[in-house]
Amino acid sequence: MQTDVASGTAPLLRLDRLSVTFQSDDGPLPAVEELSLDLPPAAITCLVGESGCGKSLTARAVLRLLPPQARPAGRILFKGQDLLELPESRMRPLRGRHISMIFQEPMTALNPVLTVGLQAAEPLRLHLGMSRAEARAETVRLFREVGIPAAESRYGEYPHQLSGGMRQRVMIAMALSCGPDLLLADEPTTALDATLQGQILHLIREQSEARGMAVLLITHDLSVVAQMAAHVGIMYAGHLVEYGPVADIFSHPLHPYTQGLMASAPGRAGVGVRRLPAIPGSVPPLGQRGRGCPFAPRCARAYARCHEELPAERSLDGHRLRCWLPD
Ligand SMILES: Nc1ncnc2c1ncn2[C@@H]1O[C@H](COP(=O)(O)OP(=O)(O)OP(=O)(O)O)[C@@H](O)[C@H]1O
Ligand code: SF4
Ligand SMILES: [Mg+2]
């Protein structure tokens, strides 16, 4: 069920059994396990799940910007080409031009010794061949578009002079500047107030629809999922445990973890639920994930098999699901 059969569009990005494993003194520690997901062009796909489930590592693997101890495996097919097979020299021109990312931590993603203007202008010069003056004018325009007040004077400031929300807007401007085919947006609006969040999300959706940009949107905000995405994937402890059309997942979640997340969502589409509801317990850290279903210690419906065997992925009622129930 990977290709979007309904719309007849081939995926722009296909994650095919993607794994990300950390090497440690205690042996390999899997953080993302055999995750398969298709992103069609001109559509927004959301990824949700509690902290530590592997959402950021999944997005970072696509750009091959993983921590040094992390090893990816599987295939990451972008326009049919496996990014994990490409030499670094062929990855570099893709980053920021064809695939861009809004990082979860704007402070660590920005260079502290360069002004935000020069950093944001660089992809325009590098990838689109703009002159210094053209790149500056375009950057100021983009800064205005993402709601940076006094954009001209902000251009010459350093990251530490900007608030978290302002840095996040710089990152968003940079990510959209070259008109990427694929945008990986990792909690892109967390530091922004509701009005600005709405404005930025509108901009992302507009670009997606107008230019056919595919978007992987990572968020904890269920109302954003409801408003923005066509499909949603639910991650738990490195696994994609459920995936399907947004309205369907909100109204008929099948996986007990998804059901827990949706439990306090009022209405069918969960509009108004800004953060993930709390489920008793927490995500097991790497190295403490048993061989069975990783959700078993928190699952009210767990039975003997759940503690022994990892559920295989299967299709049920139009969802992809990793749960033994109903078996
Ligand atoms: N550099 C690292 N070294 C060791 N473990 C790491 C590293 N980066 C991430 N991990 C571990 O990998 C797992 C997945 O991390 P990831 O950052 O992808 O989670 P996430 O779903 O994005 O969480 P959040 O919602 O908090 O951003 C976590 O258990 C995390 O502790
Ligand atoms: S496989 Fe078992 S423990 Fe895991 S979510 Fe399903 S019922 Fe719960
Ligand atoms: Mg993250």
pLDDT band at 5 (very low <50, low <70, confident <90, very high): very low
Is any atom of ligand 2 closer than 6 Å to the C-beta of 236? no
What pLDDT, in 10s, does the model give residues 80-101?
999 999 999 999 999 999 999 9
Indicate if the pLDDT at residue 116 is higher than 70: yes
Indicate if the pLDDT at residue 266 is higher than 70: no
Is any atom of ligand 2 closer than 6 Å to the C-beta of 325? yes
pLDDT band at 304 (very low <50, low <70, confident <90, very high): very high
| DSSP string computed for 283-309 | PPPTT---SS-TTGGG-TT--HHHHHS
Q: How far is the CA of 73 from the centre of ligand 3 (A)?
A: 19
Buried b (16+ CB within 10 A) or exposed e, 185-215: bbbbbebbeeebbebbbebbbebbeeeebbb
**First CA to last CA distance, the chain:** 20
Q: Which ligand has the shortest distance to the CA of 58?
A: 1
In terms of pLDDT, which residue wins out, 268 or 300?
Answer: 300
Is any atom of ligand 1 closer than 6 Å to the C-beta of 110? no
CB half-sphere exposure, 100, CA atoms < 13 A: 22
Strands in 27-39's sheet, in edge-to-edge order, are 27-39, 13-24, 70-78, 81-82
Q: How far is the CA of 74 from the centre of ligand 1 (A)?
A: 19
Mean pLDDT of the chain: 91
What are the tokens at 31?
Answer: 């953080």
User: Which residue's alpha carbon is at the smallest distance from atom 13 of ligand 1?
Assistant: 52
The alpha carbon of 261 is separated from its chain's Cα centroid by a whole number of angstroms, namely 18
Q: Is 56 in contact with 10 (CB distance < 8 Å)?
A: no
**What pLDDT score was predicted for residue 193?**
87
Q: Which atom of ligand 1 is nearest to the CA of 283?
A: 29
User: Which residue's alpha carbon is at the smallest distance from atom 1 of ligand 2?
Assistant: 323
Q: What average pLDDT does range 219-246 have in this prediction? A: 96
Residues 6+ apart with CB under 8 A from 124: 130, 134, 135, 138, 139, 177, 178
Runs of H (alpha helix) within the chain: 55-63, 88-91, 106-109, 116-128, 132-145, 151-154, 164-177, 194-211, 222-228, 246-251, 256-262, 304-308
In terms of pLDDT, which residue wins out, 270 or 205?
Answer: 205
What are residue 182's DSSP bridge partners?
99, 214
Is any atom of ligand 1 closer than 6 Å to the C-beta of 103? no
pLDDT band at 6 (very low <50, low <70, confident <90, very high): very low
**What pLDDT score was predicted for residue 326?**
75
- Assigned superfamily of 1-98+180-283: P-loop containing nucleotide triphosphate hydrolases (3.40.50.300)
> Percent of the chain scored above 90 by pLDDT?
79
Is any atom of ligand 2 closer than 6 Å to the C-beta of 311? yes
The DSSP call for residue 95 is B
Is any atom of ligand 2 closer than 6 Å to the C-beta of 293? yes
Q: How far is the CA of 128 from the centre of ligand 1 (A)?
A: 34
Percent helix, strand, coil in the chain, to 5, is 35, 25, 40
Q: What average pLDDT does range 102-116 have in this prediction? A: 90
What are the tokens at 46?
Answer: 């959301």
Q: Which ligand has the shortest distance to the CA of 290?
A: 2
Low-confidence winner among 47-51, 96-100, 189-193 (lowest mean pLDDT) = 189-193
The SS3 call for residue 322 is coil
Token pair 């210094």 in the structure block, residue? 132
Q: What average pLDDT does range 167-182 have in this prediction? A: 95
Q: How far is the CA of 134 from the centre of ligand 2 (A)?
A: 56
Q: Which ligand has the shortest distance to the CA of 102?
A: 3
Is any atom of ligand 2 closer than 6 Å to the C-beta of 302? yes
Q: How far is the CA of 314 from the centre of ligand 2 (A)?
A: 14
Who surrounds ion ligand 3 at CB < 5 A?
A: 56, 104
Indicate if the pLDDT at residue 131 is higher than 80: yes
pTM for this prediction: 0.93
**What pLDDT score was predicted for residue 264?**
58
Q: What average pLDDT does range 43-62 have in this prediction? A: 97
**What pLDDT score was predicted for residue 237?**
97
Alpha-carbon gap, residue 222 to 215, rounded angstroms: 16
**Domain boundary assignment for the chain:** 1-98+180-283, 108-177
User: Which residue's alpha carbon is at the smallest distance from atom 6 of ligand 2?
Assistant: 323
Low-confidence winner among 27-36, 191-200, 235-244 (lowest mean pLDDT) = 191-200
Q: How far is the CA of 52 from the centre of ligand 2 (A)?
A: 19
Q: How far is the CA of 56 from the centre of ligand 3 (A)?
A: 4
**What pLDDT score was predicted for residue 1?**
39
